[in-house]
Amino acid sequence: MSTTREDQIKELLKTPELCQIRKLYRYRTMESQELEGIFTKREIFLPKPIDFNDPFECRPKLTVYNSGLKRQQFIRARVRNMMPCNNRKARKALMRDYNRILRDRPEHIDNAYERFLETTGLYCLSEKKDDILMWSHYSSGHKGLCIEFDPILDARIGGMILFGQALKVIYSEERPIVNVMAFVMASDQPTEYKKALLTKSNHWEYEEEWRVIKTEREGGPGIRHFRPEILTGVIFGALISPENKQKIMEWVSRYPTKIVLYQAIIDETKYKLNIEPI
């Protein structure tokens, strides 16, 4: 039985490691545009990776198939996607045109990858809730909050899964080499998708990041809704103002399911944060 593009994407999103991750965390500032919607509408926003603050983000070294046979298979698959009808004559003409484009316009490959990034949404989370640097970078110098989600419950309930499909980021000294043509070839997709979207510099390794990925066929970037019970906790930053803390507590009081509240407290003797229930 042949493997379809959808089957390969589903294979990509299988995460057996997820059962080991009890909670995933999202650091937020009070100025975050998505913050109120998380509590009042149970929605998150998946941005495009090109909008991230790291210029290396999802920027692998791009390559193509060296094999003439593989190139022809790629062109056939590409033409089938562009022209699903059974007009063989028209398909052959388009294949000749596409062959010429690949030969004479190498920038076509770069443009194809740019479009892939434009139509993909990523949502970044972390295994860690008490990292001093992340509180500093992503929560206004400890003046914001950290939101706790339950990916295991999300996967167990099924249906519109988000956090239950999160994938672990891979950290590396070397930028990955990604074959853009493989995005079209069903047999090669999962490996190339993962390398392109999940590889980061080991400078970021301390973040222990996980990502929710939505490709164009899954709706791409934009707003996604989640079940209320998936949001299980809120951690207030060590330096959050009383006014902002009260604002969040009001949102929590109107939330349809129970949210456990925590306070990050600066340790008296060590460079660490203690997360204590309120």
DSSP the chain: -PPPHHHHHHHHT--GGGGG---EEEEE-TT-TTHHHHHHT-EEEE--GGGSS-TTTT-PEEE----HHHHHHHHHHHHHHH--S--HHHHHHHHHHHHHHHHH-THHHHHHHHHHHHT-EEEEEES-S--HHHHHHHTTTTTSEEEEE-HHHHHHH-SS-SGGG-EEPEEESSPPEEEGGGGTSGGGHHHHHHHHHHEEEGGGGGG-EEEEEE-GGGT-SEEEE--GGGEEEEEE-TT--HHHHHHHHHHHHT-SS--EEEEEEE-SSSS-EEEEE-
Tell me, yes or no, whether 93 lies in a domain.
no
Report the number of distinct structural domains present in the chain.
Answer: 1
Tell me, yes or no, whether 29 lies in a domain.
yes
Which range of residues forms the domain containing residue 247?
16-48+125-172+205-277
pLDDT (tens, 9 = 90+) of the chain, 278 residues, equals: 444 434 544 444 444 444 358 899 999 999 999 999 999 999 999 999 999 988 999 999 888 766 566 666 666 666 666 656 666 677 677 667 666 656 656 676 777 788 889 999 999 999 999 999 999 999 999 999 999 999 999 988 867 789 998 999 999 999 999 887 776 555 556 778 888 999 999 999 999 999 999 988 889 999 999 999 999 999 999 999 999 999 999 999 999 999 999 999 999 999 999 999 99
Tell me, yes or no, whether 54 lies in a domain.
no
Tell me, yes or no, whether 119 lies in a domain.
no
